[in-house]
Structure 1
């Protein structure tokens, strides 16, 4: 399976972090070919095969992977031994310090975020669309890592994966007003009567406010490059999901 490894974490031998593309799987159109989501209408047997391919690529046991039933919330779950591949929690962020327990976030325009604290050897996987970003799921996850694992924001490494950019994410005036009211007007761009939102601008403002200094952004718009990534908007809502995966060893 074709994946992208963030350079920010490449020097750490005891953590594996990667983002998938839509390439190198077995799913048929419109999920071709590396769809990892069970809820989008794809053949479940193909989805399992894709998960097996990814597990083989990154070197983990599929049964140990924890993914989410994502709901565009600010709910964060701490992963322990009670969770399994077949019992994903309903939330939009996962955190753990358990070894050999891969965490997965899925996306198709929203920003998949991976966090790693090399001091306390803890990690997180976060699903941050517009709703999650405006509800501050990213800073809330960092605060929960501090509360449960002793993480210090300045030690945390944050990687923002492939997502829709401000060039393609058109929004309505109501969302623009909400964005402005929450202090993120810098994330808005007007083009005639149209308004566009760059969610990553919000996330980067939050990381700066939290004093997270080690940040990498995968600068590829999923809508512009929907031949390489799944895009809910560019693929007219009928599409698969890419994923971000992080694993402590």
Structure 2
């Protein structure tokens, strides 16, 4: 089975999203789980990371992932960050080459950012809380401040995530979404309410001025396609994590 859901590689950039296939983790993770915090055997998680690093051509120990907390915290990569010392945040940015950064997800939207003009990248974890706390625009603005990123040149990819077809929410959350000005992200079906988080993210990118043809959305719903992706909802909360990985190559 294919380990990667989508990938891009050039002389200057590596970017990909993984699937749940190709690893060695046993049930209920089946099989390419990349997260340590979900109860999986750590040796299996490391083996899965090693396989991914080999397939993509980077050193696993150079990878920086995150201890994701559904926050609005953006971290700039420095020498204190590494595979064994992941920062607690929900977004990473860097202009360091040969330093892969990773966002993990199992229904939330994993987002990869690339500034080709200033050779800088970002990785963002955006679930409902993160989207409403504007983690994505805050990351874009951080790249603009730190690296001089021009929003008109920024390239953005939203990876596999749960869709509005499956993400049922309660009235309280619906009210919060509406209050924040994102009523277009809500779908009503009889007495049920569903949320399309990507609609919020796309609205935020539009408000920032990111060009529409610079935005790619991988349309697969992680709950509908639970045979391919981990889904917190479809797997009854006991599941692994897929990942988005992005790395700058030396220019």
TM-score (norm 1): 0.97
Whole-angstrom CA distance in 2 between matches of 1:133 and 1:24: 30
Whole-angstrom CA distance in 2 between matches of 1:52 and 1:199: 32
2:233 pairs with 1:239:
no
2:121 pairs with 1:120:
no
Say if 1:108 and 1:230, in contact at 8 Å, map to a contact too.
Answer: yes
Partner residue, 1:161: 159
Whole-angstrom CA distance in 1 between matches of 2:78 and 2:57: 20
Partner residue, 1:42: 40
Deviating beyond 4 angstroms after TM superposition, the runs of 4 or more aligned structure 1 residues are none
Say if 1:80 and 1:98, in contact at 8 Å, map to a contact too.
Answer: no
TM-score (norm 2): 0.96
- State which of 93, 107, 110 in structure 2 corresponds to 1:109: 107
Over the aligned positions, Cα root-mean-square deviation in angstroms equals 0.9
Unaligned stretches of 5+ in structure 2?
none
Unaligned stretches of 5+ in structure 1?
none
| Superimposed CA distance per residue, residues 178-236 of structure 1 (whole angstroms, 9 cap, x where no aligned partner) | 10111100000000110000000000001111111100000100000001000000000
Number of corresponding residues: 246
Deviation for aligned residue 1:81: 1.9
SS of alignment partner, residue 152 of structure 2: helix
| Superimposed CA distance per residue, residues 66-96 of structure 1 (whole angstroms, 9 cap, x where no aligned partner) | 0000000000000012211000000000000
What are the within-5 Å matches in structure 2 for residues 48-67 of structure 1? 48-67=46-65
2:204 pairs with 1:206:
yes
2:3 pairs with 1:5:
no
Whole-angstrom CA distance in 1 between matches of 2:56 and 2:79: 21
Say if 1:35 and 1:50, in contact at 8 Å, map to a contact too.
Answer: yes
